[in-house]
Homo-oligomer: A and B are copies of this chain.
Amino acid sequence: MSIVVVGTVAFDSIETPRGRVDRAIGGSATYFSLAASNFTPVRLVAVVGEDFGAEHRSVLLEREVDLEGLIVERGGKTFYWSGRYGEDPNERETLCTDLNCFAEFQPELPPAYRSSRWLFLGNIDPDIQIGVLDQVAGRPFVGCDTMNFWIERKPESLARLLRRIDVLFVNDGEAKQLTGRANVVLAARDILGMGPRAVVVKKGEHGAFLFAPEFRFFAPAYPLQEVFDPTGAGDSFAGGFMGYLAGRGAVDERHLRRAMLYGTITASYACEAFSVERLRGVTQAHIATRLGELVDLVRIDLDS
């Protein structure tokens, strides 16, 4: 079943110890879409400016991402971000953020998207995320990202949003900030009390936890020998996770556990080159190989 993603499509200028790239395609909806497209059809809702050309659209179209929901603002410029990473991929410095046409974005789902059973809300203003939820018919399965900025500035909106979603994706710092807990296990328990039926706590190179009321699961990060560019790893994780569930049309424990591995795999590809370069070329065979490696990495035989 297809999944709708609402988020940003952007141009990123990125500097890492491995090199730099200028005005490459990025944004939460872009990374999510490319990752999810390995598992299910994707419908993208975002806004870009007139500087977003055919060569940029083709990055999404070659993965058959449906762009009916991609608004092009006349005379507008696309969201622009630039940042720099140190040797530690978790140390990120934002050099510049130009919201441009994204500043006034009020996403509107095309009528065909409104009956979607699967939805991902990228990290944007929680009031806008709620506005998207109000447009969908029925009760889709909803994944949602957020960040420190909204946790600080819009706690009431975020609280209302959390009561209406299924899976919250946060990193460990955000989980602690959202709950005031110094311990991830306790933070996750508190978040489950806020509404979501599951919470994914991402720890970058240290892997990711899934906490649900009935079970918990841990996925180690895929052990990369080199992290070229961690930009978009979190959105790529969410894309692999949500895309797999939507593709299978299932959200039981067994599928949620597997979704964690698929999220881990798509995130690993996001880190292996600048921008979406590596993610664009991922095949089913690549994914199957890494799945085998991840399963082997934690394999235990307790018999005898």
**A interface list, Cβ under 8 A from B:** 87, 182-186, 203, 206-207, 209, 215-220, 223-227, 254, 257-258, 261, 291, 295-302
Instruction: Evaluate contact between A301 and B206: CB separation under 8 angstroms.
Output: no
Nearest CB of chain B from residue A203's CB, rounded to whole Å: 7
Nearest neighbor of A224 in chain B, beta-carbon distance: B185
Q: Is the CB of A186 within 8 A of B218?
A: no
Q: Which residues of B contact A302 (CB under 8 A)?
A: 258, 291, 295
**Assuming the A-B contacts A218-B220, A220-B218, A220-B220, are A87 and B298 also in contact, with contact meaning beta carbons closer than 8 angstroms in the complex?**
no
Nearest B residue (CB) for A184: B223
- With contacts A207-B206, A207-B220, A218-B220 taken as known, whether A225 is within 8 angstroms of B300 at the C-beta atoms is no
In the bound assembly, the distance between CA atoms of A217 and B298 in angstroms comes to 6
Question: Which residues on B sit within 8 Å (CB–CB) of A220?
Answer: 207, 218, 220
Question: Is A300 a contact of B296 with CB atoms below 8 Å?
Answer: no
Assuming the A-B contacts A182-B87, A207-B206, A207-B207, are A218 and B295 also in contact, with contact meaning beta carbons closer than 8 angstroms in the complex? no
Closest to A258 in B: B300
B residues in contact with A295, CB < 8 Å: 300, 302
Contact, CB under 8 Å: A226 / B87: no
